[in-house]
């Protein structure tokens, strides 16, 4: 399913910027092959220098994550954990072996398998947290690719501007060329800022948010698995996991409240 916020945001940004350009008159002056080569080519080249080929091969999958809604349903995960807890409490942990193959999520499947195998709770927690840390590191690498592109594109835009200025100053004997030369020089800065602020930086932030959401679900899974292993009451497990989600959401809510409070105070002042 398509992520509408990403599509709407990028589409709206392009329409508004391009529309403003057309309203200002001659839009052709904003097209410059030289500027595209410097900004886009330089950004791609700098990204290749910064990351390995194995990391760069992940860009298509990262874009897919940004443009699709593939988040894990927390309610369905809690439901699965509660069902497993009920069966384990009624028939024993070993009976969960039959349900492992039906679990769609590899992370959850691995955790339940460790419990069925009789692994010590502390070791189960260590193994699952290690897998979680590896996943976070992988997500961080993906996010940093777009963050780096967001930093490189304005820098190469400035480089293109300097190149254009040098070329313009070399033609001071022909005043008729100064205006067009300055326009071309500034276009590269425009391209760099546009790409960074509408594409690269927002996509990096989108990946960061999606990573935080997935980490939260994985932490919920670990908590649920350990509770099942401890033989806790399924209803208690369900309430604990629901509370776990609500407690994790509170910091973000508090930040919004602080922002709103700050606005009210500022307005009253």
Strand, coil or helix: what is 2?
Answer: strand
In the predicted structure, residue 262 carries a pLDDT above the cut 60: no
CA pair distance 83, 112, nearest whole angstrom: 12
- Which of 65, 25, 74 is closest to 223 using CA atoms? 74
**Report for 63-77, 153-167, 246-260: range of highest mean pLDDT:** 153-167
pLDDT tens string 122-143 = 999 999 999 999 999 999 999 9
CA pair distance 151, 201, nearest whole angstrom: 8
Domain edges within the chain? 4-268
**HSE-up (13 A, CA, CB side) for residue 108:** 27
Band of residue 32 on the pLDDT scale cut at 50, 70, 90: confident
Q: Quick one: how many helices (H) and strands (E) in the chain?
A: 12, 0
CA pair distance 207, 230, nearest whole angstrom: 35
CA pair distance 111, 218, nearest whole angstrom: 10
Band of residue 256 on the pLDDT scale cut at 50, 70, 90: very low
Point out the least confidently predicted range of 52-56, 104-108, 241-245, 256-260: 256-260
- Which of 239, 206, 221, 251 is closest to 74 using CA atoms? 221
Given this model, what pLDDT does residue 177 score? Answer: 66
Strand, coil or helix: what is 68?
Answer: strand
CA pair distance 131, 110, nearest whole angstrom: 10
Taking residues 55-63, what's their average pLDDT?
A: 93
Taking residues 221-244, what's their average pLDDT?
A: 91
CA pair distance 266, 264, nearest whole angstrom: 5
**What letter would DSSP give residue 57?**
T
Taking residues 13-39, what's their average pLDDT?
A: 89
Given this model, what pLDDT does residue 172 score? Answer: 76
């Amino acid at each position: 399913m398509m992520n509408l916020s990403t599509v709407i945001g990028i589409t709206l940004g392009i329409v508004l910027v391009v529309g403003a350009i057309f309203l200002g008159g001659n839009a052709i002056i904003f097209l410059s092959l030289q500027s595209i080569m410097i900004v886009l080519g330089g950004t791609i080249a700098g990204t290749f220098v910064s990351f390995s080929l194995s990391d760069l091969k992940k860009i298509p999958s990262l874009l897919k994550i940004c443009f699709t809604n593939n988040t894990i349903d927390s309610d369905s995960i809690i439901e699965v954990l509660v069902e497993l807890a009920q069966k384990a409490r009624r028939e024993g942990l070993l009976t969960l072996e039959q349900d492992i193959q039906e679990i769609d999520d590899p992370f959850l499947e691995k955790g339940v398998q460790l419990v069925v195998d009789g692994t010590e709770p502390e070791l189960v927690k260590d193994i699952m947290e290690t897998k979680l840390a590896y996943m976070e590191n992988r997500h961080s690498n993906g996010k940093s690719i777009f963050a780096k592109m967001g930093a490189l594109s304005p820098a190469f835009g400035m480089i293109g501007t300097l190149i254009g200025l040098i070329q313009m100053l070399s033609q001071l004997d022909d005043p008729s060329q100064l205006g067009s030369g300055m326009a071309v020089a500034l276009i590269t800065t425009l391209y760099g800022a546009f790409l960074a602020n509408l594409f690269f930086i927002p996509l990096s932030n989108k990946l960061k948010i999606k990573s935080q959401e997935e980490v939260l679900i994985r932490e919920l899974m670990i908590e649920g698995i350990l509770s099942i292993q401890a033989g806790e009451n399924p209803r208690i497990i369900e309430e604990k996991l629901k509370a776990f989600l609500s407690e994790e959401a509170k910091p973000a809510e508090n930040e919004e409240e602080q922002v709103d409070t700050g606005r009210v105070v500022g307005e009253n002042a």
